[in-house]
């Protein structure tokens, strides 16, 4: 084969690869979400990193061991204990605003920071931190779709040494209490057809076949609807299209015309992921049951269903 033919084949291969990558990027942006800006792709974030935007802050929401094995350039590390209340009456409740402000300041976050959060791959912990920031009034925050695994699969740069930034000025300036619901409110609405309790745990937990740690009782809230949190994800942990996700929820009666959709998991982490997924679709009638099953299970005065 002469050199001209080789060059032609190389040129054609480059066009095919470029077209394929371009189509994938467009497809990711055109999945029909009402709020696509809540997500960011690895390629888009890589472009933004190269622009050296000083307001861009990246938070790795994995345990410290995984963070030290490799993380995104400039990323700081936060784990569940950094945004949970250590004195809460049950495990995993949202952190106190003052304590959260102090912790976030130590991570170099400012009030005008443009925050990107990511975890290993499925965004369940990233979505929980996204929810906490949004409850505390910080709107400029996105989730890196596919997390660290997706970043690595694209062969983008990673760091091993931890990042110790200068102290930030972040302060909780607002609290969106409308995004939170408690046990008593749910108990008052058990027979309200417009008030939906969406249980995002596994089927075994929902049916009372598995209790879960620290929960004195097993089962579910009466009349609650079950839809496991990860049903909205593809095998590569990217979100399915808006039409696919919408159909999954609508088949369970989870529609925008309900007055309230209250989301529950064991400690509110998986529920936050479903909250995020529904926000992608443009749902505004959402509340997260932050006490979740641990809270309901610990209240012996509250009813449960089994099987």
Please state the pTM of the whole predicted model.
0.91
Query: What per-residue confidence (pLDDT) applies to 53?
Result: 72
Q: Sort strands 114-118 and 225-226 into parallel, antiparallel or unpaired.
A: unpaired
Phi and psi at residue 108, in whole multiples of 5°? 80, 20
Q: How far apart are CA 194 and CA 63, in angstroms?
A: 39
Closest CA to 101 of 138, 57, 63: 138
Closest CA to 70 of 197, 155, 1, 186: 155
* Residue 297 near residue 216 (C-beta atoms within 8 A): yes
SS3 category, 128: helix
Unique residue bearing structure tokens 């609405």? 189
Buried b (16+ CB within 10 A) or exposed e, 5-37: eeeeeeeeeeeeeeeeeeeeeeebeebebeeee
* Residue 89 near residue 71 (C-beta atoms within 8 A): no
Q: How far apart are CA 215 and CA 237, in angstroms?
A: 29
Q: How far apart are CA 197 and CA 265, in angstroms?
A: 11
Query: What per-residue confidence (pLDDT) applies to 277?
Result: 98
Closest CA to 150 of 239, 267, 283, 31: 239
Third-level CATH fold of 177-298: Oxidized Rhodanese; domain 1 (3.40.250)
Q: How far apart are CA 60 and CA 105, in angstroms?
A: 15
Rounded to 5°, angle at Cα 271 from 203 and 222: 55
Write out the chain's pLDDT in tens, 307 residues.
555 544 444 444 444 344 333 333 433 467 999 999 999 999 999 999 988 677 999 999 999 999 999 999 999 999 999 999 999 999 999 999 999 999 999 999 999 999 999 999 999 999 999 999 999 999 999 999 999 999 999 999 999 999 999 999 999 999 999 999 999 999 999 999 999 999 999 999 999 999 889 999 999 999 999 999 999 999 999 999 999 999 999 999 999 999 999 999 999 999 999 999 999 999 999 999 999 999 999 999 999 999 7
Q: What is the CA radius of gyration of the chain?
A: 21
- Which listed CATH number (3.40.250.10, 3.30.450.20, 1.10.260.40, 3.30.70.20) goes with 33-153? 3.40.250.10
């Amino acid at each position: 084969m002469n050199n001209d033919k080789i060059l032609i084949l190389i040129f054609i291969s480059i066009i095919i690869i470029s077209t394929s990558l371009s189509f994938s990027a467009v497809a990711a942006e055109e999945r029909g979400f009402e709020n696509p800006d809540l997500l960011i792709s690895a390629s888009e974030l890589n472009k933004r990193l190269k622009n050296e935007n000083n307001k861009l802050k990246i938070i790795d929401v994995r345990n410290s061991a995984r963070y030290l094995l490799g993380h995104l350039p400039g990323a700081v590390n936060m784990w569940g204990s950094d945004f949970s209340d250590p004195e809460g009456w049950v495990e995993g409740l949202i952190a106190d605003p003052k304590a959260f402000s102090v912790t976030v300041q130590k991570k170099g976050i400012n009030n005008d920071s443009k925050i990107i959060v990511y975890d290993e791959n499925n965004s369940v912990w990233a979505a929980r931190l996204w929810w906490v920031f949004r409850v505390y009034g910080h709107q400029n925050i996105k989730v890196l779709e596919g997390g660290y695994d997706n970043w690595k699969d694209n062969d983008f740069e990673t760091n091993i040494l931890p990042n110790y930034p200068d102290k930030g000025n972040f302060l909780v300036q607002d609290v969106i209490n409308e995004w939170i619901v408690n046990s008593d409110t749910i108990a008052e609405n058990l027979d309200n057809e417009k008030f939906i309790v969406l249980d995002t745990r596994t089927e075994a937990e929902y049916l009372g076949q598995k209790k879960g740690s620290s929960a004195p009782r097993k089962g579910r809230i009466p009349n609650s609807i079950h839809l496991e949190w990860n049903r909205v994800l593809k095998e590569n942990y990217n979100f399915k299209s808006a039409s696919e996700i919408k159909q999954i929820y609508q088949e369970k009666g989870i529609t925008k015309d309900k007055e309230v959709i209250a989301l529950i998991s064991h400690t509110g982490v998986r529920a936050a992921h479903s909250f995020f997924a529904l926000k992608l679709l443009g749902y505004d009638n959402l509340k997260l049951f932050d006490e979740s099953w641990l809270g309901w299970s610990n209240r012996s005065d509250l009813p449960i269903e089994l099987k």
